[in-house]
Amino acid sequence: MCGLAGFIDLKGSGAEASTVIARMLRQVEHRGPDGSGIWVHGPLAMGHRRLAIVDLSPHGHQPMTSESGRFVITLNGEIYNHRRLRAQLSAAGTRFKGHSDTEVLLALIEAQGLESALQHCIGMFAIALWDQQRRTLYLARDRFGEKPMYYGWHRGRFLWGSELKALRVHSAFERRLNHDAVTLFLRYGYVPSPHSIFQNTWKLSKASILSLSLPISDTEHLNPEICLQRIDSYWSPYIEAERSKRPIFKGDLKEAAGELELLLRDAIGMQMQADVSLGAFLSGGLDSSTVVALMQAQTSRPVRTFCIGFSEQQFNESAYARSVAGHLGTNHSELNIDARSALDVIPTLPHMYDEPLGDSSQIPTFLVARLARAEVKVCVSGDGGDEIFCGYQKYRVGHRIATTPMRRVLGRALSVLPFSIIEKVASPLSPRFRRAFRASRIHNLSLLLQADFTELAELLSAHLDARGLTPDSECILPEGPQLTAFRPSKYLRAAMDLDLAYYLPDNVLTKVDRATMRVGLESRAPLLDHRIYEFTSRVPMELLYKDGHQKPLLREVLTRYVPSALIDRPKSGFSIPLSEWISHELNSWAHDLVSDCGTMNKLGMNSSELRRLLNEHESGRRDHGGALWPALSLVAWATKNL
């Protein structure tokens, strides 16, 4: 796990480039406190900050040059199957100096080319690769977007880096706000790829390769018109499922669980490989409990596990984690936090995340990362389980709405009624409809009932309470799977793929990456081994969701290691008492931000609407916590970064 930075400047000198790249690297020093490296050649400068996990010797130093001298690479992340790839390359005659995964990847690229090499890799990564022979730069990202990569064109220079702060210290960087990104953020609580919060700067989408070929003729400035720039996808979750010629899995639940268990054991076993201390995050939920159970099954030593609890008991799941840890025999640590702990973290968030992020679980995520880093250097998580195994409550709500008889007719009828009347109308309806109504009451129920499947999945992911905060409320996700043509029975699969396209990489994995990297901790997510997704995409949907029960397939695997009594409970998620804190302990902080009209004018936000939401929330008439936190986080970010 590391930090990357680089730029191409046709006018710069070598000495100047070394100074600039060193300044960019200092901004991501927290991602790699164990060492740094710089490579400058002609107009190109590449830099690397190292968090040493595999091959702690100088043979793992980056930037790394291939045996032939043609390629130079910087890698952030891990190639988990590097030992298997090394054996194959060695059998073909390749000789290695060390045992790092970077050296293996570089040899594989030299033998097969970049795209083919990445298709053979199991891992998480962001890569910058310079091909000296073709004068071409390649930037690449892993299949699910675990590791970040920003890039941009600024005043005739091309810049890239692991975090925006590395780009921003370059003198050419233009700090101009992207107002489309602001609108998207207020709607979803994150900035979806390929947008970034600044103009002329983008996030490289997951599973993508950007290639940039420099012009042969002399020129003083770079721009996309004179360079040959392409972005190609080498893997896609929902397209991969459609392209696959493998048959649908025909076995029953126990047979599917047997095959999944083998895949999980292999994925988790590979991700337990490290030359440093390793542990796991354990919340007591299905995802993290499964990962920890299979970790403990593959080692004779107690796995070190870490958990966060809350003073407010209705949000405190630490007892569940403690029970699972006790059954499995892990070496368990936990930390209870309160509003004071949150207040201490909040001022650091705008710098930690570079872009605004409206997921309040970023606070406990940072705190549990800091807790773990005191004991280990690598921590394994259950991230990705909800998107892969159909775990979110919104999937259940959307499925119920999608399969409601005559839902569009009912939606049009409800659209003319006041909210209070709708509650009374809903009471005699079917239990399924009443549950969907209660779960989605913060949204416009009549709108959900009338929506096609694309709109329904998107609306259930949006903060509709925030629609009045910006003048343009029509900005939606840039692209994604087209769900309109799907039958109701296909809704769940398509909604999961929508989250794999945006919510997972741009919210969940961004949150985890910045929080763990801030303290120099590597986080690994074995449930995001792409082989696991490719298997679950073949199993019948009823093995992932049956009669309102979610994750039956994963649950079947876990019950082979943990008694059902320890895990049979409703899903709650990694949430904090946000609504309560905004009304009380965070109230002064919220009012200070709401009164900052100058910052909100820069953002193009409707300050009076934000005040209305806060006042209505404080009065107890409506719970606007889900919309207020992203809006307040955006203003807090802008006060520090604009």
Task: Read off the DSSP letter of residue 257.
Answer: H
Q: Which residue type sits at 567?
A: I
> Pairing between strand 71-79 and 123-131?
antiparallel
Q: Residue holding tokens 């910006």?
A: 470
CB-neighbour burial class of residue 568 (10 A; exposed 0-12, middle 13-18, buried 19+): exposed
- Beta bridge partners, 129, equal 73, 138
CB 209, CB 140: distance < 8 Å: yes
CA distance 45 to 428: 68
Question: 267 φ, ψ to 5°?
Answer: -65, -45
Q: How many CB atoms lie within 10 A of CB 323?
A: 17
CA distance 486 to 428: 30
CB 196, CB 355: distance < 8 Å: yes
CB 240, CB 534: distance < 8 Å: yes
Catalytic residues: 2
CA distance 500 to 238: 9
192 preceded by a cis bond (ω within 30 of 0): no
The CA angle 80-502-359, to the nearest 5 degrees, is 95
CB 495, CB 483: distance < 8 Å: yes
Q: How many CB atoms lie within 10 A of CB 311?
A: 13
DSSP state letters, 296-316 = HTT-SSPPEEEEEEESSGGG-
Residue 212's alpha-carbon distances to 129, 137, 159, 536, 623, in angstroms, are 11, 5, 12, 35, 48
CA distance 524 to 539: 25
Q: Residue holding tokens 């903060």?
A: 463
Residue 256 corresponds to which tokens in the numbers above? 């599917």
CA distance 484 to 496: 14
Q: List all residues 6 or more positions away from 489 whose beta carbon is below 8 Å from its beta carbon.
A: 403, 541
- Helix ranges (H only) for 374-508 are 385-389, 393-402, 407-414, 419-426, 431-439, 445-450, 453-459, 491-501, 503
